[in-house]
Structure 1
Amino acid sequence: MDMAITWDWLKQKNFRLNDPNLHPVVAQRGWEVVFEAWQRGIYVLITQGYRSIAEQNELYAQGRTKPGKIVTNAKGGTSYHNYGLALDFALYTPDGKQVVWDMNTDFNKNHKKDWMEVVQMFKARGFEWGGDWRSFKDYPHVQMTFGFSIAQLKAGKRPSRPAMVVQVPELTKVVASVTDKKEEEYMIPVSKADKIIALIQAEWKEKDEQIKQYQKMWQEENAKPDKCQQKLDEYHRAAEALRKDKKELGELADEVRKASGRRVVNG
């Protein structure tokens, strides 16, 4: 049976974002992406953050003076990783048992490629993506240069580090009033929220089909020479009642989305 990937579990796996050698803005934005992706049912693993120059030289030697496949063209000091300004990522399978670099998978089944969804989350927060490079494309790589070139960084220049504490996103609690008593309710896990929303959407579609049937009946009756106003009114009232039900179902789905930390759809 597949495990439900919890936020606590995923936080522990992404310990590389806690490295003090990472620029705090890079770390903060990285956490934001991992959290947003988790809310969408995509499980991101940061496989690399800060990398020392010695580690970079070891990586550069792979496929050249050491066995293995060439994985980088950057010698020590020529990668943004060496200055805490870059991240590499991969994806977990939904059961959390495998790490994959598959760019075409759609584990959360929203008809979008999970990898590219994550890439867009990074880009929305100011990262550059290695997949956009003209040569030696690096698809798992994102970086935030702050306008600094490698030459400037090698010369000792650095982007300013704001006095900020990196905040790891946390699940909040929803406080509800029940029989004049306040009790805390934790947010709904994404996996359960998806199932609830799917049931709501199925009922919403069923009511939408019923509305179309009443609209067709109304049109057919209205086209008759001896049309019955009582029937027209009855069809109209039935359709309006169903529209009200649809609206309430949409609001209910949004409540579930809010409780799982997602953005609302119906306003």
Structure 2
Amino acid sequence: MHICLWSPMQRGTFDISTPGAHSCYHKIAPCGNINSSSSSPRTSLVAGSKHKVEFQQNLNHYYTIKPGTIDISFAVGLNPSENDFTVIHSLSDYNAMNQITQTNFSVEINLPNQPCDECVLRVRYLSNNPLEDDHGTVFHQCSDIKLTQTLINIKRKDKEQEKRVESMNKERQEDPHDCCIPESYVNSFFHIIPAIDFRSEGVIYYDKKAKQMRVTVVNNGGRGNTTYDGLFHMWMNFTSGKQYYYNYRNGTCDLYGLDYWNDWCFGNKYNQSSFWFDKMKNTSPVY
């Protein structure tokens, strides 16, 4: 649902301390109803170079019937219109099996080889999910940038990367291991992000017949009360459409609305391969 962008830094306020953060919710095209000015902060990048766009899908709204996409686009101008944007990279949404999932992305792109003093880099989450259609189903985040000229400004193709993608696509087509987990399932997990000294661990309870899930997660020891170091319990009832998010340390319980139930499956048959084979350098789910 929500999406936040920090490289380059988004317009307006920035906060990813909690799932469903207000600063990650901007639906009005083309830039979430946040305009820029000539005095707005602007990130300077080199035209024609590579850049890692870093952002977070602050809530996940995977829609089984018509899975969504995340795209990165570019436009010249201070406040360009929707028609001015050109998509330069796109990747598939993925089934996180939990709406309250904060997933970090680091996507390397080739910047346009056209210097500009005022231009915009945008990340969109096109969820396609009808349950998110309050002001449309697309979420926007724009960054004001400047592209500078250099002596050598040649847009190169990464042949090695293309070969890797070609090889992985071939493996994907030939992979016979598409599968779904059992109807009733319990699984322990742990997740580590060395760059920010983060570790989480917990247990997932999955019940397809009842269409319910429960997740217990401990972040960095669970002695604090934030998403970085807290202990949390999540109860998901897809029949009622409610998800409770309980912070054990401070005793607060937040109510979230759920999207449609998705079977927990893997592979091409279930549209869960293209996400992993897109040209992404890193993804880091944080529960």
* TM more than 0.5: no
Determine which structure has more spread, i.e. the larger CA radius of gyration.
1
TM-score scaled by length of structure 1? 0.24
Q: Indicate the structure whose relative CO is greater, using CA pairs within 8 Å and at least 6 residues apart.
A: 2
Q: Hey, which of these two has a bigger chunk of helix by percent?
A: 1
Q: Hey, which of these two has a bigger chunk of strand by percent?
A: 2
TM-score scaled by length of structure 2? 0.23
